[in-house]
Each structure stands twice: as structure tokens, then as C-alpha cells.
Amino acid sequence: MSRPLNRAESSPTATTARHLMFDDLEQLDQILAATSDMARDFVQGADDMDVTCRDFSAFDPSRPMPGQGCGTLDALRAAQEEILPLLAASIGPRYLGFVTGGTTPAALAGDWLTGAIDQNATGPEGSVTAAVEEQVINWLCEMAGLPHGRFDGVLTTGATVSNLLGLVAGRQWCGQQIGVDVDADGAGVLPGFEIFAASPHASMIKDLSVTGIGRNSFTKVATRPRTEETDITDLKAKLVASTARAKLVIASAGTVNATDFDDLIAIADLCAAYGAWLHVDAAFGMFAALDDRRAHLLAGLDRADSITSDGHKWLNVPYDCGIFLTRHISVLETCCRAFAPYLQTDAVGNMYINRGVENSRRFRALPLWLAMVAYGRGGFAGIVRANCDQAVDLAQWVRGHDRLELLADPKLNVTMFTGPGSDDDNCALLSRINATGKLFMTPTIYGGRFGFRAAFSNWRIQDHDMEIVRNAIDSVL
Ligand SMILES: Cc1ncc(COP(=O)(O)O)c(C=O)c1O
């Protein structure tokens, strides 16, 4: 049987590395100061950097790992030379791809602290992390306009995992309604399980595979003409026709292209009538609640059984931070509980280890908490309102442009448009736009046509950025 090496017996390489770490601990001030300088230069320089990097050939992924380390200050210098120049300025104001939030200074501070204090946020044993997460979840519910105390939840790695939890908890609840236990006996005990969705996000399709339900195993509901919204008449017809005894409806509050919102009241009525679990994907749309001009779009959200949202999108906290809320927290805890004698505690508080996929968990409530305390509800409302206005401004410019065409009126923070010529021409045009380095947009297909998608989700976008965006597009048209 092997016994642990003591210091004298350990290999010279291991001993040197240990010395390097203790040396580093002694010079922690210099290390943190150097890190802070690098981070400040990057964050402040993001306005002027090329928005994306398109050539990483200078970085060799196959280089062997060093046997002897060089210490943190030299490693930081290496990162400064080899990695930082090859990054995207996705925290900057003109990265309009996907739905990419930036990082507010408070959230950045919270994220740094999270790494420094390195808590394992599993539950209330010996640390306040669980109580902080509980407070943050209460505040998120308040921001979303959800009635006090009706929802509880957990912070996840992102909306993809939150959607997964919606499927898993919904399937368990469906089983409970008909007296079978999916958690204990597997999904095979369900006498038919039918999922209905009109415009499920790509992450939900992935989750259908991960849960063993199957990517193609959902009933596609029609959308209303020229929208991504659920057609209520079609949903009703499909629920009526269903012979499954377990049913789950996936609705959207803010689709990723057209930012369409389903009629959640009508869908909740149907779910109540046909005994279906209602999951709402509101990855960024949930924060429309902060804009009084758009809060009505979320009417009925309080009747969802589960809700997906994200902090790393519109709340501008660093990756990763997803949000899952449910009215049936005990159902989620049934599916996600992790039992082992060494995990038990009599400390009082929420066991977040039992609410999600992870056992060990980053204290991701802290960046959110810091940003919420630093900027308050008003700060987040300011981001949401400004981004929605920017989407409308770009749409107005496109509408008045003789070579560009708007694909849909923006309802929230995304503008979709296209250029002259064929889809291939426009695909090439998007590459030329992104190659200017002044902005970054992602492609989309909308109404059967190739288009450009500009998603505004960053707190740093200002009027002069909008001008740079317009000029860059014009320069390559
Ligand atoms: C509506 C919607 N749902 C889910 C996701 C997946 O989010 P994440 O990348 O945080 O897992 C996204 C991402 O854009 C989204 O827009």
C-alpha cells in the first residue's frame, strides 16, 4: 500500500513547485496588482479593440506543459503576450452577437472575490453562501414582478441547464399526478409523456437529448403568422388530441430571434385545463419586467410551473450565472437530491446541492449580489431600457436605408435585418461587416431568409457606438 510522501522524499520538481506557491503567497500584493493592471487595461481598452479575433495561429494548443513552472508574475506576462491579444472584446459595447451581456464593475469585483474566497456553495454548512443565494433569488423574483414567496429556485451554470431542470422537474411532477415515480423508477413508468413547443431554443433541443427524451420527441406547435409566438388555437387542438397522460408545455418569453413573447395567460389556462406543466424560457426576456413600456409582455409568468432565466445575459454579470425558478421546489429537490452520509448537515438553510446538476458549486450568487447592491433595481432597469431603445434606433436606421431591409420590428433588444442580393451575398456581407473589427453580429434565418442579428445586451453601449456600427456597415455595403 502506498503511503503519502513527506516533503523530504518528494521529487525535486514537486518541491520547487511548492516553493513557487509559497513564494507567490508572499508576493500576493504584486500578483494581484499585476492582475488588476491587466484586467483594467483589457476592460477599459475594450472600446478600441477589434471586437473579435479571427486569427489564433500564433497560439499553439499542442505545446507541451512546462515541467518546471515560472511563478505567477511570469505566467501573467506570458498570458499578456500569448492570450490577451487573441480575445474577443465581448465585454465591450459593440459585441452584438448571441445575447452576450458584459460585466459591470460591481459584478467584476464580485467575481474576483468569488475566486479569492473559493467557497463551495452547496448549502448552509459553515458558511453564509446559501443565505446569500436565497436573498438573491428573492430579489430576482422581485425584479421579475413575481408574487412574493410563490417561487423559489437555484442559480445554475446557464439557461441551458435551467431548461434541463425544467424538463426534469416537469417530468417528475407529471408522474406524481398519475401516481408513478420517475425519479425512482425511470421515465419508462410514464404512460406516455408528450412535450409541446412552438419555438424551443436550441438549448432545449439539446436538453431533450440529454434527458433521454429525444431531440425529435416533441410535438411542434404552429407559430402565429410571421412570428415565433405559439399559436394558441393549434396548441389547444394538439392538447385535445393528445392521448398522453403526462404533458409538458414549453413557452417562450423572448425568443432568441424575434424576441417574441407567448401569450402566457392563454397558455397557462390551457395547461390548467389539460393538466400540463408549464415551463417558460425567459432567458433574457424575464427582465423586460424592468421596462414599464414592456412589462405587460410577461403577464401570466407568475402562473408558470418553472422559469428559465440568466444573469450572464442582461444582468451583465460574468459567466457563468443561470437562473431557475419554480413553484414546486420540493419536486426539483426530489430529482436532484444527492445523498451520502458525508453530505448530511443539521445546519438550517437551503441545500442548493439538492436543487441542480452540480454537487460542488461556485458561489455565483456573490457577483449578482454585489451588482444588485451597487446598482439597485434602477441600474438594471437602465440597461434594459437603453438596450431596447438601441434596438429600435438601429431598426429605424435600417428602415430608412436604401440597401438594407428590416426582417422584423424589434420588440425587445434584438434587431434583425438583411442586405441586398441573395442569401449567399448576405452571408458574405456579414463576414465583411464583422471583419471591420468595429462590431460583431451573428447570422440568423428568419422567415426563410438569411439575416444579421444585432443583440443589444451590454451596459456600455453609447450613442457614439451606434454611429460606429452604422458607419462600419455602410463602409462595406
Ligand atoms: C431563449 C434562450 N434560452 C436559452 C439560452 C441558452 O442560454 P445559455 O447559453 O446561458 O445556456 C439562450 C441563449 O441565448 C436563449 O436566448
Residues near 281 by Cβ (< 8 Å), separated by ≥ 6? 159, 163, 166, 200, 201, 204, 250, 251, 252, 253, 308
Which ligand 1 atom is the nearest neighbour of the CA of 282? 1
Which ligand 1 atom is the nearest neighbour of the CA of 163? 4
140 lines ligand 1 (CB under 6 A): no
pLDDT tens digits for 450-471? 999 999 999 999 999 999 999 9
pLDDT of residue 17: 72
207 lines ligand 1 (CB under 6 A): no
pLDDT exceeds cutoff 70 at 1: no
Average pLDDT over residues 395-423: 97
Half-sphere exposure of 126 (CA within 13 A, CB side): 6
Ligand 1 centre distance from Cα of residue 397 (Å): 28
Say yes or no: do domains 37-60+72-103+377-477 and 120-363 share a fold: no
315 lines ligand 1 (CB under 6 A): no
* 3-state secondary structure string across the chain: CCCCCCHHHCCHHHHHHHHHHHHHHHCHHHHHHHHHHHHHHHHHHCCCCCCCCCCCCCCCCCCCCCCCCCCHHHHHHHHHHHCHHHCCCCCCCCECCCCCCCCCHHHHHHHHHHHHHCCCCCCCCCCCHHHHHHHHHHHHHHHCCCCCCCCEEEEECCHHHHHHHHHHHHHHHHHHHCCCCHHHHCHHHCCCEEEEECCCCHHHHHHHHHCCCCCCCCEECCECCCCCCECHHHHHHHHHHCCCCEEEEEEEECCCCCCCECCHHHHHHHHHHHCEEEEEECCCHHHHHHCCCCHHHHCCHHHCCEEEEECCCCCCCCCCCEEEEECCHHHHHHHHCCCCHHHCCCCCCCCHHHCCCCCCCCCCHHHHHHHHHHHHHHHHHHHHHHHHHHHHHHHHHHHCCCCCEEEECCCCCEEEEECCCCHHHHHHHHHHHHHCCCCECEEEEECCEEEEEEECCCCCCCHHHHHHHHHHHHHHC
98 lines ligand 1 (CB under 6 A): yes
pLDDT of residue 18: 77
pLDDT of residue 16: 73
pLDDT exceeds cutoff 50 at 233: yes
Is-cis flag, bond preceding 320, omega within 30? yes
User: d(Cα 75, Cα 68) in Å, to the nearest integer?
Assistant: 12
Ligand 1 centre distance from Cα of residue 179 (Å): 33
Ligand 1 centre distance from Cα of residue 180 (Å): 31
User: d(Cα 200, Cα 246) in Å, to the nearest integer?
Assistant: 19
**Of 317, 319, 351, which is closest to residue 333 (Cα–Cα)?**
351
322 lines ligand 1 (CB under 6 A): yes
pLDDT exceeds cutoff 50 at 2: no
Cell numbers describing residue 135: 436573498
User: d(Cα 472, Cα 477) in Å, to the nearest integer?
Assistant: 9
User: d(Cα 312, Cα 24) in Å, to the nearest integer?
Assistant: 31
pLDDT of residue 276: 98
258 lines ligand 1 (CB under 6 A): no
Q: pLDDT grade, residue 10 (50/70/90)?
A: low
The pair phi, psi for residue 93, each rounded to 5°, is -80, -10
Ligand 1 centre distance from Cα of residue 342 (Å): 35
**Of 141, 162, 160, 159, which is closest to residue 150 (Cα–Cα)?**
141
What order do you get walking across the sheet with 405-408 strand by strand? Answer: 405-408, 414-418, 449-455, 442-446
The pair phi, psi for residue 252, each rounded to 5°, is -120, 140
Radius of gyration of the chain from Cα atoms?
A: 25
Query: Considering only CA atoms, which residue is closest to atom 14 of ligand 1?
Result: 99
Residues near 241 by Cβ (< 8 Å), separated by ≥ 6? none
Q: pLDDT grade, residue 11 (50/70/90)?
A: low
The full set of domain ranges for the chain reads: 37-60+72-103+377-477, 120-363
pLDDT exceeds cutoff 50 at 6: no
Ligand 1 centre distance from Cα of residue 166 (Å): 14
Average pLDDT over residues 288-314: 98
203 lines ligand 1 (CB under 6 A): yes
Q: Which amino acid is at 183?
A: D
Q: What percent of the chain has pLDDT over 90?
A: 96
Region class of 344: left (phi > 0), else alpha (psi between -120 and 50), else beta = beta
Average pLDDT over residues 241-264: 97
pLDDT exceeds cutoff 60 at 444: yes
User: d(Cα 269, Cα 193) in Å, to the nearest integer?
Assistant: 20
**Topology of domain 120-363, per CATH?**
Aspartate Aminotransferase; domain 2 (3.40.640)
pLDDT tens digits for 94-112? 999 999 999 999 999 999 9
- How far is C-alpha 204 from the chain's CA centre? 13
Which ligand 1 atom is the nearest neighbour of the CA of 99? 14
User: d(Cα 174, Cα 273) in Å, to the nearest integer?
Assistant: 14
Q: Looking up cell 409541446, which residue turns up?
A: 196
Dihedral angle, C-alpha 302, 308, 313, 317, nearest 10 °: 90
Chain mean pLDDT for the chain: 96
Q: Looking up cell 408545455, which residue turns up?
A: 249
260 lines ligand 1 (CB under 6 A): no
Ligand 1 centre distance from Cα of residue 353 (Å): 23
Ligand 1 centre distance from Cα of residue 317 (Å): 15
User: d(Cα 238, Cα 21) in Å, to the nearest integer?
Assistant: 62
User: d(Cα 260, Cα 288) in Å, to the nearest integer?
Assistant: 12
367 lines ligand 1 (CB under 6 A): no
pLDDT of residue 12: 61
Query: Considering only CA atoms, which residue is closest to atom 3 of ligand 1?
Result: 283
Best residue among 260, 310, 313 to mutate for probing ligand 1's pocket (most ligand atoms within 8 Å of CB) is: 310
159 lines ligand 1 (CB under 6 A): yes
**Topology of domain 37-60+72-103+377-477, per CATH?**
Aspartate Aminotransferase, domain 1 (3.90.1150)
pLDDT tens digits for 15-52? 677 789 999 999 999 999 999 999 999 999 999 999 99
455 lines ligand 1 (CB under 6 A): no
283 lines ligand 1 (CB under 6 A): yes
Q: pLDDT grade, residue 9 (50/70/90)?
A: very low
pTM summary value: 0.96
111 lines ligand 1 (CB under 6 A): no
Which ligand 1 atom is the nearest neighbour of the CA of 98? 14
